[in-house]
Structure 1
Amino acid sequence: METSWTHSSESMSKDLSELLKEATKEVHEQAENTPFMKNFQKGQVSLHEFKLVTSSLYFIYSALEEEIERNKDNPVYAPVYFPAELHRKAALEQDLKYFYGSNWRDEIPCPEATQKYVERLHYVGKNHPELLVAHAYTRYLGDLSGGQVLKKIAQKALQLPSTGEGLAFFTFDGVSNATKFKQLYRSRMNALEMDLATKKRVLEEAKKAFLLNIQVFEALQELVSKGQENGHPAQLKAELRTRNINKSYEHGPAPGKESERTNKRHTDMMPTTPLVRWILALGFLAMTVAVGLFAM
C-alpha cells in the first residue's frame, strides 16, 4: 500500500520515532476507522469478542517475544530490550486462563490472518532482526499509550471484576510512569545505529505491521458476519457466566430475563467453536493499535 509520505533526505534526518509516526499515519487512520474499533470506543464489545482478540494477541506476542529473546544481545535490538517492563505473553496467559480455564491452550484458535502475522514476525526475527524494532515499537508503545483507556472501556462494557481479572494485558507493573518510560524508549530507539537504507526498511516494516493488523480486522469482519448468519453469537454470549461475569450480552438483555437465560444456557452450553473465537481479534486489535498509536 502506497502512502503520501516520502523518504526525502531532509525527512530522513529526523529521529526514528518521529519518522515512524509520520510514515504510518495513513495506515493508522485506516485501522482507526474500522467498524469494530468504533464500536469498541462506544463500549459495544461482547465478552466473546474480547476473549477471541485476547487469543489472537497471545499468538502475536508469543512470536514477537520469541524473536526478541533470540535477538536480545544483537546490537540492532539490544538497546530497546525491556522484557520486565513491556513483555505481554505472561499477562495474556493469565487472562486466557481466567477466560477459558486451565485448558485454555486447547481452546484458543490461531486464525489464518493471525498466523500470517506470526509468520512475518518469525521471518523478521530470524532473517532481518534490524526490522524487529518496527514491530516492537508499533505494539508496545501502542499498548502503553492506549492501554488504560482500553482497560476502562472493557472493564465497564463487560463488567469485569474491579480487581483486574481478565485485564492483565493492560497492566504494566514494571512501568511506574508511562510518559517517562516512553521517552526513554524513544531515546534508545533513536540512538540505534542505522544507515539511511536500513532506516527506510524499518519504516516500511512498520507500515507492514499495520497492514497485517488490518488484514486480521477484515478477515474477522467476514467471520463475524457469517457467525451472525449462523446464529453462533447467541450461543456464545453465555459461555463465561460460569466465571461470575454478570453481563456478557452485546446490547444487554432485560434484567428479568437475564437469570432465566443464564440458568438455561449453563446446562446446555457447548464449548466455544473455532469460528466464533475469531470475533474478538478484530475489535480489540483495532482498538489497541489505533487508540494506542494515536496517543504516541
Structure 2
Amino acid sequence: MIVAPYMLKAFLCSVGLTWMRSRSPGAGISRSWARALPCKPSPAGVAAVVGTAAVPPCCFLQQGQLSLRGGLRVPPCAFSTLGWWMVGIPPDTAGTSSVGLRAERSPVFACSPMDLSELLKEGTKESHDRAENTQFVKDFLKGRIKKELFKLATVALYFTYSALEEEMDHNKDNPLFAPLYFPVELHRREALAKDLKYFYGEDWKEKIQCSEATQQYVDRIHHVGQHEPELLVAHAYTRYMGDLSGGQVLKKVAQRALKLPSTEEGIQFYVFDNISNAQQFKQLYRARMNALDLDKNTKERIVEEANKAFRFNMQVFDELDKVGRSLGEEAQDGGVPVHDGKGDIRKCPYYADKLGTAGPSCPFHAAVGLARQPLVQLVLAACMAVAAGAAAWYIL
C-alpha cells in the first residue's frame, strides 16, 4: 500500500499534463484567452508603412513589433505572452525564413469581431457550405476524379490565376491592396503553366481554351482590378487561403487517384516552395488584412465580393461536373488517399468537404486521430493510473 500514494500522484500529474496540453497555444486556446485580456492603446507616433500604404497600428498588450521583408514594419495585433508564432522559422530560432520575412516579436494575435478576417469567416459560411457540397468537390475528395477532368480543372485555374495575378500586379502599389502583395510566396500562374505542360505537352497553349463559366469569373476579376481594386482582397483571400489549407489535401488526393509521379509533376499548383509553414503564413496574411485602413462599408463590400467569388467557383465546379458525366469511365484508384492530415480542410474557403461519408482509409490513422483528442487522453491516463494502482496493491 506504500506505493498507492505514488500512483495517486502519477494519476494527478497525468491529468494535469493532459489538461495543460489540451489548453496549449497549439490547441487554439491562447487566442480565446487573448481576447479576454485588456487592450492598451498603441504608443503615440507608431505607424507602419507597407509599400506606399500607411497602415494604422493595431492595439497591443506589450511592446513588440514585427519586421517584414524589405525593412517594412507593421505593429502586431493584440497579443498575449502565452505563445509565439514565427513566420516560417522554428519558435526557438531567429533570422530570415524561406518566405523572406523576419520575426523580431512574434505575437499570438487576437482578432476583433470587426476585423476583416473575422467578417469574411462569418459572412461566407453559407456560401462555403454550398461550395463544399457541390458534386465535383465531393467526388474529388473521395478520389473519384478522372484525369481528363482534372486537366480541365487545371486549365480553369490557369485562366483564373492569370487574371487575378495580372490585376494584383497592376495594383501592387495601391494602399488598399499593397500589404497583401506576395508574388514570390503566392503567385500560381507559373506553377500552373508547368502542370499544363506536363499534361498537354510543349504546345499546351494551343490546346487549351477558357470555358464559359471560367470566362465569367475572369471578367469579374478584371472588372474589380480596374474599377474596384479594394475588392481584390476578397478574390485573393478566397483563392490563396484555400490553396494553403484544403488545397494541400487535394494535392494528396490527386497524386494517388491519378497515379501522378512522386516528384510532383502535374500538381505544382499545390506546391508553395517559398512558404515553409503554411499556418504561420496564413496568420500573417490575416493580420495584414486586418490592418488595412478600411471603413465599415468597404469591409461589407469585400465580404459580398467574397460570396460572389464562391458563386463563380461553384459555377465552374458545376460546369466540370457536367463535363465529367459526359466522359467515359476510367480506371480509378478509389477512395480517399492516406495523408498526414496537415491540410486543414475545414478552413478551405472553397475546396472543402467534411470527409465524413468516406470514413478513414486506414484503421491506424483513425486510431491515432482518436488518441489525439484531449478527452480520450484523459480517460487513457485515468485507466493507466488505476491499472498501475491495482497492480501495486496486488503485489503488496
Between Structure 1 and Structure 2, the one with more strand by share is: 2
TM-score range for the pair, normalised by the shorter chain length:
0.7 to 0.9
Q: Map residues 219-234 of structure 1 onto 2, 5 A cutoff.
A: 219-225=319-325, 227-228=326-327, 233=328
1:32 to 129, 132, 135: 132
Whether the 8 Å CA contact 1:135–1:209 is kept in 2: the answer is: yes
**Are 1:289 and 2:350 an aligned pair?**
yes
Alpha-carbon separation, structure 2, partners of 1:169 and 1:17: 24
Q: How does 1:1-296 map to 2 (within 5 A)?
A: 13-225=113-325, 227-228=326-327, 233=328, 249-250=331-332, 289-291=350-352
Superposed displacement of residue 46, structure 1: 1.1
Deviation at 1:289, TM superposition (A): 2.1
Distance in 2 (CA, whole Å) between partners of 1:13 and 1:99 is: 45
- Mapped to 2, the partners of 1:40 and 1:121 lie a distance apart of 26
**Any idea what the Cα deviations from partners look like across 1:264-285, whole Å, max 9, x if unmatched?**
xxxxxxxxxxxxxxxxxxxxxx
Give the secondary structure class of the aligned counterpart of 2:157: helix
Instruction: Say if 1:32 and 1:291, in contact at 8 Å, map to a contact too.
Output: yes
| CA apart distance, 1:291 | 2.3
- One-letter code aligned to 2:352: V
Q: Cα distance 1:47–1:289, how it changes in 2: closer, same or farther (>3 A)?
A: same
Q: Determine the C-alpha separation between the residues in 2 that align with 1:93 and 1:60.
A: 12
**3-state SS, counterpart of residue 69 of structure 1:** helix
Task: Return the index of the structure with the highest Cα Rg.
Answer: 2
Task: Determine the structure 1 residue equivalent to 2:18.
Answer: none
Query: Aligned partners of 1:251, 1:147: CA distance in 2, in Å?
Result: 20
Q: Is the 8 A contact 2:143 2:254 kept in 1?
A: yes
- For the 8 Å contact 1:143–1:289, the answer to whether it is kept is no
State the distance in 2 between where 1:36 and 1:62 align. Answer: 23
Structure 2 unaligned regions, length at least 5: 1-111, 335-347, 356-396
Unmatched 5+ stretches in structure 1: 1-11, 238-248, 253-286
How many angstroms apart in 2 are the aligned matches of 1:170 and 1:222? Answer: 25
Task: State how far apart, in whole Å, the 1-side matches of 2:236 and 2:191 are.
Answer: 17
* TM-score using structure 2 length: 0.56
* TM-score normalised by structure 1 residue count: 0.74
Secondary structure at the aligned position of 2:350 is classed as helix
**Matched residues in 1 for 2:256 and 2:170: separation?**
38
C-alpha deviation, 1:13, in angstroms: 4.9
* Contact 2:258/2:333, CA 8 A, preserved across alignment: no
Tell me by how many angstroms 1:288 deviates. Answer: 8.0
How many residue pairs match? The answer is: 231
Is contact 2:163–2:221 with CA below 8 Å preserved after alignment? yes
Contact 1:79–1:188, Cα closer than 8 Å, also in 2: yes
Pair 40,114 (structure 1): closer, same or farther in 2 beyond 3 Å = same
Structure 2: distance between partners of 1:140 and 1:251: 28
What SS does the corresponding residue of 1:289 show, helix, strand or coil? coil
Matched position secondary structure for 2:272 = coil
Give the drift of 1:66: 0.2
Alpha-carbon distance in 1 for matches of 2:227, 2:247: 31
Distance 1:152 1:220 in 2: 20
| More helix as a share of residues | 1
How much is the aligned-residue C-alpha RMSD, in angstroms? 2.1
CA distance in 2, matches of 1:288, 1:128: 22
* Sequence identity percentage: 60
> Displacement of 1:170 after TM fit?
0.5
* Cα shift readout 1:210-230 (whole Å, capped 9, x = no counterpart): 0111112223333334x24xx
Structure with more contact order per residue of length (Cα contacts < 8 Å, sep ≥ 6): 1
Q: Aligned in 2, Cα 1:53/1:99: closer, same or farther, shift over 3 Å?
A: same
Cα distance, 1:58 vs structure 2: 0.1
